[in-house]
A and B are shown apart, each in its own frame.
Chain A
Amino acid sequence: MEEVATSNVQYTPASKGTMFRQMIRVFMQNKLAVASLAYIVILTVACIFIPLLYKTSFTAYNNFSNNSCYDSSVLGYSGPSLHHLFGCSSSGFDELGLIMYAGRYSLLIGYLSALVTMTLGVAYGIFAGFRGGWVDAVMMRFDDMLLSIPSLYLLLLIISIWGRTDFGLILVIGVTGWFGVARLMRGEALQLRNREYSQAVRVMGGSGSRIMVKHILPNSISTMVTTATFALGDSILALSGLGFLGFGLQSPAIDWGTMIQNAVDTFENGSWWTLWPLATIFILLVLSTNYIGDALRDAFEVRLQER
């Protein structure tokens, strides 16, 4: 408390708008990150709209006679052409359309499970960090336990029990992803609860939940946003891992991991187009989330330095 009294630094409270604008400016200077963000936005929009352009179905198998994907000269599905930009998948669907169709599920599950991860992790971490003492110790030991279980095995264990549905996958990936987030947020809350403003609220008689919700939560937004981008990448990766192992969405729904699994045989037999477009889109997506996360971290750091 003494520090508050003796410090005669003139605080000019920067309004939210300027701080936010400053951050945006720093972020926009990072060309790579802006490109990454644009990529994610474009990909999301494309996944929503491109499947609508197709008159063919992505769920019902076509027989050979009326399937434009069937190439009678090679007795198989055709490669890239003007008609099918990315060629045709191993089961006779247009590859570009199928990627976008699967992208709807993959992105939706990715976004939502990242949301679940963030909600659980932030709530748990801030509560533990704010309370401190033995509550913190117990909660963090519990977090340690969860962190030491390999995530994919934990996913498998839960799936072996709960089975798999779209909604279940969102929950399962979200529920197994928050341990690291909680640890980060706890560190953040530990720092913030001893700041002058938190102490001031306490002196004025503000309740603990008020400090947590109104003061610690908004001030840890930088860590939260950065973690959320990484969480998005992680959950998309986790989903692809599950899909690849055969525990992804069930037909007629399909996700990128299942598509990779379906493409293995045809790809190894020489149909390069069954994997490469998907691989490129997928790797670029995860790469973008990592780049954005890095850029955001830098942007927030600059903001802290300038303050």
Chain B
Amino acid sequence: MRYILRRLFQGLLICFGVSIITFLLPQIYYRPISLAIAANSIRTPHYILEKWIQTHGLNRPIWDQYVSWLWGVFHGDFGISLAKGTNGIPVSTVIGGNVWRSVFLTLPPTIISVCLAIPLGLTQAIKRNKSWDYATTSFIFILYSTPAALLSILMIRYLAIQFNIGQVGIDSFAQQVSAANFPMYMINNFSMFLLPFAAIVFLSIGGLSRYMRGSALDTLVQDYVRTARAKGASNRRVLFRHVLRPSAIPLLTILGLSLPGIFSGALIIEDIFNFPGMGVLSVKSVQVGDFTTVMMITLLLSVFTVLGNLLADIFLVIADPRIRLQGKK
């Protein structure tokens, strides 16, 4: 319990730190006056620019701005977009349901890829250095080395266009579906989401199955596995009871650690399939120089990552008593 509390505290600290980093990064470069000119126009009279800076509070000390920004974030107010096109619109309106849609896009394939990676890695470890291991390993290596963009384009070309499996992109109507209705929408239009899902599965399965293979190889030579075999347990029982659990549980940690990578890959996949999520939004925001939105999106995703890591750790403690003992030391 103390271990969990300590991890919880660490997680909060990290979230806090990430918020400072994402807040300070733009401040290093931008001066209020250049922001004001960018948001208005070069010909705007100086007193209007001054007023603009005043209303957005950009002339206050940085720590003061940070505290009020953080205060706002806790109250669901993510600040105001400072870019020219969207000036004055709250960032939360700009982001809208995109956060949840992105989560709905990444969560199911991640779970699927874990479910696939466990048996894949396990069979690879059992048939180590046999043809099955070599074949799947090289396949995984190739997938691992393929950029998300190339993979998606090839899938669109050869699956969607040539064989009509899945669809080329997401309907622009998806933008109007509210976050609460989105899971239902995804189920009803599953063929539209088939290829993005598959792309994310392919993207994340490489690292996971490699890790599973390594950890299963470690487990297979443990004494207790040999004991189990010696006492006459069936092959199946040994695998499921003695090998699967200890080697699959650490996978959770790896999953937590690979969350940022999955989010990054999902960004490109969202961009290709025109999925109305955070990836597309942040690309658009960067193009128009709306850094407050990008900042907020980055912060949200980082917090998701930290929470994911935290959940993985807590689950690990519950599932594996050995870690609890280590924590007490």
Question: Which chain B residues lie closer than 8 Å to A156 at the CB level?
Answer: 267, 282-283, 286, 294, 298
Main DSSP-derived SS at the B contact region: helix
Main DSSP-derived SS at the A contact region: helix
Question: Which chain B residues lie closer than 8 Å to A54 at the CB level?
Answer: none
1/0 contact string of A243-274 vs chain B (CB within 8 Å): 01111000000000100110010011000000
Q: Are B22 and A149 interface neighbours, CB within 8 A?
A: yes
1/0 contact string of B1-39 vs chain A (CB within 8 Å): 000000000100110011001100110111000000000
Quick check: which of B151-159, B175-183, B243-251 contacts chain A, the rest being far away? B151-159
Cβ of B268 < 8 Å from any Cβ of A? yes
Of the candidates B21, B294, B295, which one forms a contact with A146 in the assembled complex, judged by CB atoms under 8 Å apart? B21
Q: A149-B21, A156-B294 are in contact. Are A287 and B153 (CB under 8 A)?
A: no
B133 to chain A, nearest CB (A): 14
Quick check: which of B59-67, B216-224, B257-265 contacts chain A, the rest being far away? B257-265
Of the candidates B146, B149, B260, which one forms a contact with A147 in the assembled complex, judged by CB atoms under 8 Å apart? B260
Cβ of A39 < 8 Å from any Cβ of B? no
Cβ of A105 < 8 Å from any Cβ of B? no
Q: Interface size class for chain B? A: 35 or more
Q: Are B144 and A290 interface neighbours, CB within 8 A?
A: yes
Q: Are A148 and B302 interface neighbours, CB within 8 A?
A: yes
Cβ of B114 < 8 Å from any Cβ of A? no
Of the candidates B145, B289, B305, which one forms a contact with A150 in the assembled complex, judged by CB atoms under 8 Å apart? B305
Cβ of A26 < 8 Å from any Cβ of B? no
- Output the residue of A153, A264, A275, A291 with the most chain B CB within 10 A: A153
Of the candidates A149, A159, A260, A283, which one forms a contact with B302 in the assembled complex, judged by CB atoms under 8 Å apart? A149
Q: Are B17 and A141 interface neighbours, CB within 8 A?
A: yes
Q: Are B147 and A268 interface neighbours, CB within 8 A?
A: no
Question: Which chain A residues lie closer than 8 Å to B141 at the CB level?
Answer: 287, 290-291
Of the candidates B149, B168, B298, which one forms a contact with A240 in the assembled complex, judged by CB atoms under 8 Å apart? B149
Q: CA of A241 to CA of B283 in the docked complex: distance in angstroms? A: 12
Q: Are A149 and B282 interface neighbours, CB within 8 A?
A: no
Q: Are A233 and B145 interface neighbours, CB within 8 A?
A: yes
- Output the residue of A145, A246, A267 with the most chain B CB within 10 A: A145
Question: Which chain A residues lie closer than 8 Å to B156 at the CB level?
Answer: 268
Question: Which chain B residues lie closer than 8 Å to A157 at the CB level?
Answer: 22, 25-26, 286, 291, 294-295, 298
Q: CA of A61 to CA of B207 in the docked complex: distance in angstroms? A: 42
Question: Which chain B residues lie closer than 8 Å to A291 at the CB level?
Answer: 141
Q: CA of A246 to CA of B268 in the docked complex: distance in angstroms? A: 11
Q: CA of A200 to CA of B147 in the docked complex: distance in angstroms? A: 48
Q: CA of A257 to CA of B153 in the docked complex: distance in angstroms? A: 13
Cβ of A53 < 8 Å from any Cβ of B? no
Cβ of B135 < 8 Å from any Cβ of A? no
Q: Are A148 and B264 interface neighbours, CB within 8 A?
A: no
Question: Which chain B residues lie closer than 8 Å to A10 at the CB level?
Answer: none
Q: CA of A91 to CA of B48 in the docked complex: distance in angstroms? A: 46
Q: CA of A88 to CA of B66 in the docked complex: distance in angstroms? A: 52
Question: Which chain B residues lie closer than 8 Å to A237 at the CB level?
Answer: 147
Q: Are A161 and B150 interface neighbours, CB within 8 A?
A: no
Q: Are B302 and A150 interface neighbours, CB within 8 A?
A: yes
Chain A residue nearest to B297 in the complex (CB): A153
1/0 contact string of A127-152 vs chain B (CB within 8 Å): 00000000000000110111111111
Of the candidates A149, A160, A240, which one forms a contact with B285 in the assembled complex, judged by CB atoms under 8 Å apart? A160
Question: Which chain A residues lie closer than 8 Å to B294 at the CB level?
Answer: 153, 156-157, 160
Q: Are B18 and A244 interface neighbours, CB within 8 A?
A: no
Q: CA of A275 to CA of B158 in the docked complex: distance in angstroms? A: 13
Interface residues of A in 280-298 (CB under 8 A from B): 282-283, 286-287, 290-291
Chain A residue nearest to B305 in the complex (CB): A148
Question: Which chain A residues lie closer than 8 Å to B14 at the CB level?
Answer: 141, 144-145, 148
Q: A145-B17, A145-B21, A283-B142 are in contact. Are A150 and B263 (CB under 8 A)?
A: yes
Q: Are A282 and B157 interface neighbours, CB within 8 A?
A: no
Q: A150-B302, A268-B156, A290-B145 are in contact. Are A279 and B309 (CB under 8 A)?
A: no
Q: Are A161 and B17 interface neighbours, CB within 8 A?
A: no
1/0 contact string of B250-278 vs chain A (CB within 8 Å): 00000001011101110110010000000
B99 to chain A, nearest CB (A): 13
Cβ of B306 < 8 Å from any Cβ of A? yes
Q: Are B149 and A241 interface neighbours, CB within 8 A?
A: yes
A residues with a Cβ closer than 8 A to B are 141-142, 144-154, 156-162, 233, 237, 240-241, 244-247, 257, 260-261, 264, 267-268, 275, 279, 282-283, 286-287, 290-291
B residues with a Cβ closer than 8 A to A are 10, 13-14, 17-18, 21-22, 25-26, 28-30, 141-142, 144-150, 153-154, 156-157, 161, 168, 257, 259-261, 263-265, 267-268, 271, 282-283, 285-287, 289-291, 294-295, 297-298, 301-302, 305-306, 309
Supplied contacts A149-B21, A149-B22, A150-B263, 19 more A-B pairs, CB within 8 Å: A141-B10, A147-B257, A149-B260, A149-B298, A150-B261, A150-B302, A152-B268, A153-B294, A153-B297, A156-B286, A156-B298, A158-B25, A159-B286, A160-B291, A237-B147, A241-B148, A257-B147, A268-B161, A286-B147
Sampled A-B contacts (20; CB under 8 Å): A148-B309, A149-B18, A149-B298, A150-B264, A152-B267, A153-B294, A159-B286, A160-B26, A160-B285, A161-B26, A245-B267, A246-B287, A257-B149, A260-B147, A260-B153, A267-B157, A275-B154, A282-B150, A283-B146, A290-B145
A-B pairs with lowest CB-CB distance, top 5: A152-B264, A286-B145, A145-B17, A150-B263, A150-B260
